[in-house]
Amino acid sequence: MRVMTWLGGDRFELSEVPDPTPGPDQVVARVDTVGICGTDVHITQGLFPGTPPTVLGHEGSGEIVAVGDGVPTSRIGERVAMETTSHCGVCENCRTWSLARCENSVWSSGFFAEFSVLPSQSASRIPDGMTLETAALTEPASCCLSGVSRLAIPENAVAVVIGGGLMGLFTLAFLKSHGVETAVMSEPVQSRRLFAKDLGADVLHDPAESDISELVNDLTGGRGAHIAAEAVGKPALVAKCAEIVRERGDVLMIGVCPQGSALPVDLFDFHYKEITLQGAFGRGNVFADTPEAISNLNLDGVISGRYSLDKVPQAIKDSGDGKGIKMVIKPNG
């Protein structure tokens, strides 16, 4: 099979390797679609930990074509969303943190390849009416769903999402489905703002035209938002979220700030307002439930570009340059 290996920096190599064989409790999936994640971009930029050589790609969907011992042969032919790790359910992390942080996890092979071998439990069957391209959005959607699910959303809540990329869009959609009354999307790109409207945004804000603080003050009579989510990965925007939430408001970090970042916030104000800052990284315990959670969302047009396996470097560059909403790889296309 063909596989694209990351060699460090912006260097990749396309090569031929033997087709994978499933071991006990494993399956092999023919990879259909793989999303380019901001983490993939950050790894190539040295902003997120990564050790080359390795096969990247962790937002995948496909069809099971082979199973190992202990896996029913009836799984062959299943259309699945693919998770990067398994979980044991009994370790300290599984019991007290999340299944996505299992201490005994078994990793799936990277998805920038024509086939992937993965634990059977890491291949979640998708609804019959869902396309495999939509299913490839399960991983990023699960990260947003996990973060939103941890919030206590009050009645008549006002929530602001800063950043209208895919993570921000999913965060906004889940905030609405979890009870937020007024959801604000702040995003400079008009097409992304309009997409947010289709996913439930009540108010759209262009940061090039005004400060989000002014809008929030007008909406809330100066009290501030109940929730503010940062979905870009910039410390200054996390600080802006802390500025615009009300007393005992929640700041949710969906975007991944570069390793070593400091929070440029007035800690007295943070302390005085009794703000809760909540990190949201990874799939939590909700991956298997996410395909159903996104099945009723209007995601037509969210995929902005489709690339063949040999074009992974270009897809990562285009994604990093903010061209569109979501770039995907079609390894067998």
pLDDT of 259 over the 90 cut: no
- Indicate whether 117 and 51 sit together in one domain: yes
pTM for this predicted structure: 0.94
With 90 as the cut, is the pLDDT of residue 322 above it?
A: no
Dist CA 170 CA 167 (whole Å):
5
Segments forming the whole domain that contains residue 272: 151-279
Dist CA 116 CA 60 (whole Å): 10
Residues in contact with 141: Cβ distance below 8 Å, sequence separation at least 6, in sequence order: 170, 290, 293, 294
Question: Region 203-219: what's the mean pLDDT?
Answer: 97
* For residue 165, pLDDT beyond 90: yes
pLDDT value at position 48? 86
Task: Indicate whether 162 pLDDT > 90.
Answer: yes
Q: What is the CATH number of the domain that holds 120?
A: 3.90.180.10
Tell whether 145 is covered by a domain: no
Contact criterion met (CB below 8 Å) for 148 and 159:
no
Amino acid 38: pLDDT = 87
Q: 296 and 266, same structural domain? A: no
> Which residues are 30's β-sheet partners?
63, 115
Distance between CA 224 and CA 246 in Å, rounded? 4
Which CATH number do you get for residue 178? 3.40.50.720
Q: Are residues 242 and 191 in the same domain?
A: yes
The 10s digit of each residue's pLDDT in 112-146 is 999 999 999 999 999 999 999 999 999 999 999 99
Distance between CA atoms of residues 251 and 194, nearest Å: 24
Pairing between strand 203-205 and 182-186? parallel
Tell me: do 181 and 127 sit in the same domain. Answer: no
d(CA 106, CA 80): 18
Flag whether pLDDT at 174 surpasses 90: yes
Res 128: pLDDT: 95
For residues 204 and 322, the model is more confident at 204
Considering only CA atoms, give the Rg of the chain: 20
Query: Could you report the per-residue pLDDT of 217-243, keeping only the tens digit for each?
Result: 999 999 999 999 999 999 999 999 999
Indicate the average pLDDT of the chain: 96
CB 163 within 8 A of CB 190: no
pLDDT-derived band at 102, boundaries 50, 70, 90: very high
Domain count, the chain: 2
Residue 324 has pLDDT above 90, yes or no: no
69-81: string of b/e by CB count within 10 Å (b at 16+)? eebeeeeeebbbb
In a domain, 146, yes or no: no
